[in-house]
Amino acid sequence: MLFTRIVDTSVAVGATRSRKAKTEALQTLLADLRPDEVETVVAWLSGEMTQGRIGIGWRTLSDIEADPVEQPVLTIAEVDDAIGAVASTSGSGSTKRRRDLLAELFGRSTRGERDFLVRLMTGELRQGALEGVMTDAIAKAAGLPLEPVRRAFMLSGRLSVTATAALSGGEQALAEFVLTVGRPIRPMLASPAETLAGAWTEFGGDVSVEYKLDGARIQVHRSGDEVHVYTRTLREITSGVPELVELIRELPCTSVVLDGETLALTDSGRPRPFQETMSRFGADSAHDLLLHPYFFDCIHLDGVDLLDEPLERRLDALDRVAPQHRIPALLRPDAESAAAHFDAALDAGHEGVMVKALSSSYAAGRRGRTWQKVKPEHTLDLVVLGAEWGYGRRTGWLSNLHLGARDPDGGPPIMVGKTFKGLTDALLQWQTDEFPKHERSRDDHTVYLEPDLIVEIELDGVQVSTRYPGGVALRFARVLRYRPDKTHAEADTIEAVRALLPTQSR
C-alpha cells in the first residue's frame, strides 16, 4: 500500500470530531492493509514507530534540504525500512549518514508525507488519545466483539500487536494473550467521586477504603530473582530504584505482580512533595532519596493470574505476600469509620482516599466507576494549551494558563478555562523557560502549545458556560503541580469535567 493512504487517513481523522467518522476511516484503512503492514501502520497512527525513539530532533529534520515530489510514490514498507536504517546507523560518521538517509526519504515524499514523518519522528503526531477509537476500528475491521480486543490490548500493552493478532487470527489469536510476568500491563484507573458518602453508598458499603497517596504509580514484576519496576506509562525504571528491587526479592514468593505507589518520606515519616519523589527517577545517584513502596493490588501470585478475580481475593493475596507494605485500608467500614479513615489520611499528609468495590475485577487501562478517588477539593489533570504574557509584577513571565480537557474521541483538547492562581515565582520562571520548547504558535499576547504538558488543577467545581467549546467552565481553578509522569492520553476527559456539574445542571 502507498504511504499516502496512511497520511490521508490521519488527516481525515484529525479533521472530524465525530467518533463514528473516525472509526469508519480507520476501519476502512485497516481492512485494506496486508498482514505484514498492520503492526507498522497502527503504531504510526498511535504516534509511535516500530523501532522506538530514533534520536532525531526537530532541528536536524528542519535543516534537511530536499524538494518534495508532486505525486506519491513511497510504500509503507519503504518508509518503515528507511526509518529502520536511520535507527540502526551508529558509530563514526553516523550523523552524516543519518542525514543522507533522511534527505533521500524526504526527497521521495510529498509535502504532506514529509509533514507526517517529521511529526512522527519528533513525537508530535498527536494520535495517542485515539486508543479507544482505534480499538473500536480494529474490532470492526476484524469482525470481532470489542471486549476480546480490549482485553488483548490490556495484556499486550501494544495496540499494534493486538491489531495484527485480531486481523490475522481472530478471537483465537487474541485469546493467546495472557498476563506475562515481566511484561507490564496498563494500570487500572479511578474516577473522581463527588463525595465520600456518595461513593460508599453507591456500593452499599461493600468496599475497601484506602489512603490515596501523593506518590508515583509503580507496577512491580518478579519471577525468581528477576525483578522489573515500571511507571504508570509502562516505562521501565528498574535500574534507578535498587532499594525497591531488593525489597521485592525478599518477598515470600517465586513470582508476583503488584500494583502500588512509591514515595519519598521525611525523617518524621510524612510524605515529601510529589516533585521530590519524581526527581528520584532522574537522579544521578540511586540513593539520593530513598523510595518506600505501598501496594494496593496483587494481580498475579506464584503462577496464578488474579486479574479476573474480585478485589477482595486479590487483597487476600496481597496480605499473604506483602502485608508490611500494604496501603492503610479498611474493608467494609461503616460510614462513620470511612469518614474517620478519610480524616486520618489527610492528617498523615496524604491526598484523600480511594473507595473500591470489593467485587471489582482489575480493568487494566480503564477508568471505571468501581474505583473512585475522594479528595477534599476537586482536582483535574488538564492539558496546557497556552499561556498569556503577564503584566504588572509578572511582566516578562508566561503566566495565565489556557486549560483543556481531553477529547475521548481523539480530537484536540477542549478548552475549559484559564487560571494564573497558584503560580509561584519559581513556577512562573519555569513556564517561561519551558513553554517555548513546546510552542505551536504565538501572537502578541499568548504562546500556544502542543498538548505535551499536563497540570493538576484544584477547583471548587464547574459551571455551565457558553464561553468555552465544551459548554462548561472551571470555578476558582488553582495550579497544584505539573504532572511529568502523565501523558496527554491520561489527561481527564471533557466528560470527567462535566461530571462535576451540579446535578440540576447536567
Residues in binding site for ATP: 210, 217, 232, 261, 296, 367, 373
Torsion of CA 358, 363, 368, 371, to 10 degrees: 30
Q: Which three cell numbers stand for residue 139?
A: 474490532
Q: How far apart are CA 241 and CA 283, in angstroms?
A: 10
**From 22, 96, 140, 212, active-site residue:** 212
Contact call for residues 343 and 166 (beta carbons, < 8 A): no
Q: Please, which contacts does 16-19 make with residues 24 or more away whose CB atoms are closer than 8 Å?
A: 16/411, 17/407, 17/409, 17/411, 18/409, 19/133, 19/136, 19/409, 19/410
| 212 is an active site residue | yes
Residue with cell 498569556: 388
Q: How far apart are CA 261 and CA 271, in angstroms?
A: 12
**Quick check: helix, strand or coil at residue 98?**
helix
H-only helix segments in 46-145: 58-62, 76-88, 94-106, 111-121, 131-142
Q: How far apart are CA 83 and CA 327, in angstroms?
A: 45
The C-alpha angle with vertex 285 and arms to 282 and 287, in degrees rounded to 5, equals 105
How many beta carbons lie within 10 A of that of residue 30, not counting itself?
A: 23
Q: How far apart are CA 121 and CA 100, in angstroms?
A: 16
Q: Which three cell numbers stand for residue 502?
A: 451540579
Taking phi first (over 0 means left), then psi (-120 to 50 degrees means alpha), and beta for anything else, what does residue 282 get?
alpha
Please give the helix or strand (H or E) that residue 201 lies within, else none. Answer: helix 196-202
Which residues lie across from 292 on neighbouring strands?
Answer: 263
**Would you give the end-to-end CA distance of the chain in angstroms?**
46
Residues known to be catalytic: 212
